[in-house]
Structure 1
Amino acid sequence: MMILILILAGCGKSEGGEIVSGKVNVVTSFYPIYEFAKEIGGEEANVINLLPTGVEPHEWTPRSKDILNTSKAELFLYNGAGLEGWVPNFMKGFGSDSNVKAIEVSQGISLIAAEGEDDHDHDHGQDESADHHLDPHTWVSPKSALVMVENIKNSYVEVDPTNKDKYESRYAALSEKLIELDAKFTEQLSKTTHKEIVVSHQAFGYLCRDYGLTQHAIMGLSPEAEPRAQDLISLSKLVKEEGIQYIFFEELVSDKLAKTLASETGVKTLVLNPVEGLTKEQEQAGDNYFTLMERNLQNLILVLQ
């Protein structure tokens, strides 16, 4: 009876999770890393995602329970490139007896410098961390995701070499899926007539770089940034000149701005998902990185044909 109760108690919420002995405990900073880490870790791993469903990662900060939990894990996987500003302080809280390995999974991706993000900050000398000037949205391109999953696999092998073969074979299967997705993006987007997209938040830099598109963002890298009036005016002009029919917005952030610009310029809105997390509905529908990226591709083709 006790065992049954324990099993049932363990089936509760996906986020927050608890450390499980006898498995490789992995704490991930947000959804795409969580999905890839589960896929590669399989039975050998207990993967805990810090970010709750439906929460936007740019906005989130960890609680002390998260720090304590993570300090007991074997691996802490985070994106890096400036996405999670809370990481340095978070890691200071681990304590000297913690053996957790922190891995920045965007390592090895050639990072994009963010255009015009914080230009006015340069006068304050160079101690402003360089992170502010990088585009952190690496995972949105299958090409970058391939680098990330290799880093995740290597981190498993490092902390649990006994099960190396299992990690390698699950990683091979996941890579295969990403390679197919990449090929599909390359092939289908190379055929489109148009190459310009208007997006609500500048999250598609890697996707655009890797598949020959250009993004024009209403807002900057953080979806909370407020656009300036002059930006909106030049965007309206661009929309008219380029004959752009659609403006993309995303689900985890308010679409108010995209809708305003759309109604002013007479264009329609569509979703382009930066795959930063699932909504409750998507989670229930069994959506994942691949289903969301397939939908992105269909919407891009519709807009760019």
Structure 2
Amino acid sequence: MIAKTKMLSLSFILLVGLFLAGCNSETNNTTQTQIDTNNTDNTTKLAIYTTLYPLKDFTEKIGGAYVNVTSIIPPGADAHTYEPTTKTMVDIAQADAFIYNGSGMEAYAEKISSALKNEDIKIIDATVDLSLVEHNHDHEEEAHAEDEHGHSDEEAHAEDEHGHSEEEAHAEDEHGHSEEEAHAEDEHGHSEEEAHAEDEHGHSDEEAHAEDEHGHSENAHTEQEAHSEDEHAHGDIDPHVWLDPIRSIKMAENIKNALVELMPEHQATFEQNYEALVADLNELDSKFHELVHEASQTKIVVSHAAFGYWEESYGIEQIAISGISPTDEPSQKELQKIVETAKQYNIKYVIFEQNVTPKVAELLRNEIQAEPLYLHNLSVLTEKDIENAEDYFSLMNKNIETLKIAFGNN
């Protein structure tokens, strides 16, 4: 750590206590690499904490001898559900920098940033200024609508979710069944009569209701726009940006710029290391293009929707069993559609990940009599990865070999 005295403010300590009081914090605080406090080569090093593993790896590759980096997420943990402990929060506050992925991946990161705003620490959102991909789950919404109601009225409700006015959908709901009316009550938090009165008239009550549900003013958004923003806040933006080599270049650039600000005297070293990293990422990108070019088919059934950036960048179509988070389990109708799609395209594998194995994915694998394969989502390392000295590129190259099998390239 850069030689300086870091006194934690009382306000920070109190804020940490209040924040963590409402969290189900991880009891296991083992981190992927502990910061080495015994600096034997007398080189001044930056003490840096990160969330996801690729951020740690990129920071080490760029910072070289001038950084000590710790990933706060324990080996093998689910990065979607991890919450930091009080000790971790205090350790971060005493470091020189904290780097997180952003894009909705770490629910706790913004709270940490807020808690640390008066502390002597640099906060880096690695995905700032990146072009992000939305998780496309239109077919899931249609299946969910049919599964939930099973009537023609739900087709109108599905249309409502896909861009038609809420008034049209609820007008049909009014003449439908009590289940939809209850659903409207449950969704909007009003009585049945109030909800349908708003839908029938479409006047200021509906606009006020949009403000109440989404917290936006009438002049800023329509109800539909507010609903869209609310969906994005709950994770419709795909946060798995690090799996895209080209977008990872921008993440690495953001990290490099932060290191230069913290240690401008070593800018030349950081720039040189960054350029070497960029060259490796470009080479990895070329390997993905070559992989897809040689493939007869590029559809994969995966345990959760972690690979949307491969679809956007290379045309590798993921058929996801669970959503953006592994806890977003599919409906029965969605499962049936996945089974039908897998059989239609003669997909012979269901792909699991190193740290998440939804039970429903195993059930589906048995249903379609598929073989298991494993992709590494790189959000965290496993103990075995650490023992084998794996890094971002070794794991991504193994992913390419797995995809060759899934595509039938071998």
Give the superposition deviation at 1:128: 3.8
Q: Using a 3 Å threshold, how does the CA distance of structure 1 residues 301 and 174 change in structure 2: closer, same or farther?
A: same
Which one-letter code corresponds to 1:25 in the other structure?
A
| TM-score in terms of structure 2 length | 0.67
Give runs of aligned pairs for residues 30-179 of structure 1, distance below 5 A: 30-94=52-116, 96=118, 98-116=119-137, 124-125=213-214, 126=226, 128=230, 130-132=232-234, 133-179=236-282
SS in 2 for 1:135: coil
8 A contact 2:32–2:73 mirrored in 1: no
Give the superposition deviation at 1:59: 1.3
8 A contact 2:31–2:74 mirrored in 1: no
Give the superposition deviation at 1:72: 2.4
Counterpart of 2:381 in structure 1 is 278
Which one-letter code corresponds to 2:271 in the other structure?
E
| TM-score in terms of structure 1 length | 0.89
Identity %: 32
Counterpart of 1:17 in structure 2 is 35
Between the aligned partners of 2:329 and 2:96, the Cα distance in structure 1 is: 39
18-27 vs 155-164, which deviates more? 18-27
8 A contact 2:241–2:309 mirrored in 1: yes
SS in 2 for 1:227: coil
Between the aligned partners of 1:104 and 1:163, the Cα distance in structure 2 is: 22
Deviations 1:194-224 (A, max 9, x none): 0211111000001221111211100000012
Give the superposition deviation at 1:255: 4.9
Which one-letter code corresponds to 1:193 in the other structure?
S
8 A contact 1:16–1:52 mirrored in 2: no
Which one-letter code corresponds to 1:259 in the other structure?
E
8 A contact 2:80–2:105 mirrored in 1: yes
Give the superposition deviation at 1:167: 0.6
SS in 1 for 2:80: helix
Between the aligned partners of 1:268 and 1:129, the Cα distance in structure 2 is: 34
276-285 vs 108-117, which deviates more? 108-117
8 A contact 1:258–1:269 mirrored in 2: no
Give the superposition deviation at 1:18: 6.7
Q: Using a 3 Å threshold, how does the CA distance of structure 1 residues 274 and 13 change in structure 2: closer, same or farther?
A: closer
Which one-letter code corresponds to 2:387 in the other structure?
Q
Q: Using a 3 Å threshold, how does the CA distance of structure 1 residues 129 and 63 change in structure 2: closer, same or farther?
A: farther
8 A contact 2:303–2:357 mirrored in 1: no
Counterpart of 1:5 in structure 2 is none
- The question of 1:234 aligning with 2:337 is answered yes
Counterpart of 1:6 in structure 2 is none
Give the superposition deviation at 1:131: 3.5
8 A contact 2:31–2:71 mirrored in 1: no
Give runs of aligned pairs for residues 284-295 of structure 1, distance below 5 A: 284-295=387-398
Between the aligned partners of 2:96 and 2:89, the Cα distance in structure 1 is: 13
Between the aligned partners of 1:130 and 1:219, the Cα distance in structure 2 is: 17
Which one-letter code corresponds to 1:26 in the other structure?
I
Question: Aligned-residue CA RMSD in angstroms?
Answer: 2.4
Which ranges of structure 2 fall in alignment gaps of 5 or more residues? 1-29, 142-160, 162-182, 189-209, 215-225
Which one-letter code corresponds to 1:232 in the other structure?
L
Between the aligned partners of 1:113 and 1:287, the Cα distance in structure 2 is: 30
Which one-letter code corresponds to 2:35 in the other structure?
G
SS in 1 for 2:380: coil
Counterpart of 2:13 in structure 1 is none
SS in 1 for 2:321: strand
**How many residues were matched structurally?**
293
Q: Using a 3 Å threshold, how does the CA distance of structure 1 residues 115 and 208 change in structure 2: closer, same or farther?
A: closer
- Aligned residue among 242, 262, 286 for 2:365: 262
Give the superposition deviation at 1:257: 2.5
